[in-house]
Amino acid sequence: MSPDADQNTVRLTDGTRGIRAAAGVLRAGGLVAFPTETVYGLGADARQGRAVAGVFAAKGRPRFNPLIVHVADIAAARALATFDGRAEALAAAFWPGPLTLVLPRSGGATADLVTGGLPTLALRVPAHPTAQALLSAFGGPVAAPSANPSGLVSPTTADHVLAGLDGRIAAVLDGGACPVGVESTIVGLVDTTPRLLRPGGVPAEALAAALGAELGPPPDGITAPGQMASHYAPAARLVLDAAREAAPADAVWLGFGPLDGRRGLSLSETGDLREAAAHLFAHLRTLDTLAPVVFVDPVPGHGLGAAINDRLARAAAPR
């Protein structure tokens, strides 16, 4: 626990009582971590500026990084931003699910701090049943970044959340391990080109198919911490695309496919990218406690592999 940790963080189970208690905390302006299909989010009522400020404080997050607003359904999303035909098409195809849309903000319901002064708003309708139950019980927009101290590895279990934020938040709603394991794909729909702002749980190939157009690159300049060079950072140094012959015999590996007797953990023994994404952050945490250097097998770049390689590259970046 950090020196300024000063709350008794409650672990709530994801039954009716836990959901109701979590919604009550949000209503009172408190912070609740909750599971989504991607990673655990650190939720606050998006309409209460003080609650949103608490999210930045708990995470130690730079103020200029805007937050994703989570809502229960597309109707609630339409009340907060302007949906054009492209936004409607992507929402129809992928919501609820691991897709975030950045759209022109409309109406003033969300606190200015959520968007960090931007004229756009990031919106997502999560599919996880516990997230859905919480959003329905709460009945309003929930601002939620990943529930980890800023810059560190995202949490995919309630234990991961407590490892980083115990004492700094009111509660964590425990819904088990997150099935997707990497954050949502973020698509910007604010100019004539749809832009891939962050690869994630929905593969870019699927988005391009639904749009009937390839996605463009992010605009110049950093608009998301996920775009900063160093992010998702474990303490260990990662050696990416490592060749087995070049590594020492006692090297610790983050494998893809069979380990074949090497020390370490495999993201997926069978080379399945979905399984690999689901294991990525938990395995990084475990290996971090085992060795100062971790050698990483090459991971294919298609489908969910794009998001996995993106997170690995940022986890490996100098800092």
The binder of 38, among ligand TXA, Mg ion, none, by C-beta within 5 to 8 A per type, is ligand TXA
If one asks whether residue 223 binds ligand TXA (CB under 6 A), the answer comes out as yes
The binder of 67, among Mg ion, ligand TXA, none, by C-beta within 5 to 8 A per type, is ligand TXA
Size of the site for ligand TXA (CB under 6 A): 27
Give the residue closest to Mg ion by C-beta. Answer: 146
Task: Tell the residue number behind the tokens 């994630």, with chain if given.
Answer: 200
Task: State the minimum distance, in angstroms, from the CB of residue 182 to ligand TXA.
Answer: 8
If one asks whether residue 215 binds ligand TXA (CB under 6 A), the answer comes out as no
Task: State the minimum distance, in angstroms, from the CB of residue 178 to Mg ion.
Answer: 13
**C-alpha count within 13 angstroms, C-beta hemisphere, residue 292:** 0
State the Cα angle at 188 between 185 and 193, rounded to 5°: 125
Q: What is the per-residue burial (b if ≥16 Cβ within 10 Å, else e) of 147-172? A: bbbbbbbbbbbbebbbebbbebbbbb
The binder of 124, among ligand TXA, Mg ion, none, by C-beta within 5 to 8 A per type, is ligand TXA
Return the residues of window 234-273 that contact ligand TXA according to CB under 6 A.
none
| Beta-ladder partners of 188 | 102, 195
Q: Which residues bind Mg ion (CB under 5 A)?
A: 146
If one asks whether residue 203 binds ligand TXA (CB under 6 A), the answer comes out as no
Per-residue x/- track, 45-84, ligand TXA (CB under 6 A): --------------------xxxx----------------
Name the residue type at position 146. S
**C-alpha count within 13 angstroms, C-beta hemisphere, residue 66:** 23
| Beta-ladder partners of 55 | none
Find the helix packing angle between 204-211 and 85-94, rounded to 10°: 130
If one asks whether residue 130 binds ligand TXA (CB under 6 A), the answer comes out as no
Contact assessment for residue 62 and residue 55, using Cβ atoms and an 8 Å cutoff: no
| Beta-ladder partners of 238 | 294
If one asks whether residue 164 binds ligand TXA (CB under 6 A), the answer comes out as no
Which one-letter DSSP state was computed for residue 38?
A: S
Task: State the minimum distance, in angstroms, from the CB of residue 138 to Mg ion.
Answer: 21
Contacting residues toward ligand TXA, per CB under 6 A: 36, 38-39, 41, 65-68, 100, 102, 115, 118, 120-122, 124, 144-146, 183-184, 186, 197, 223-226
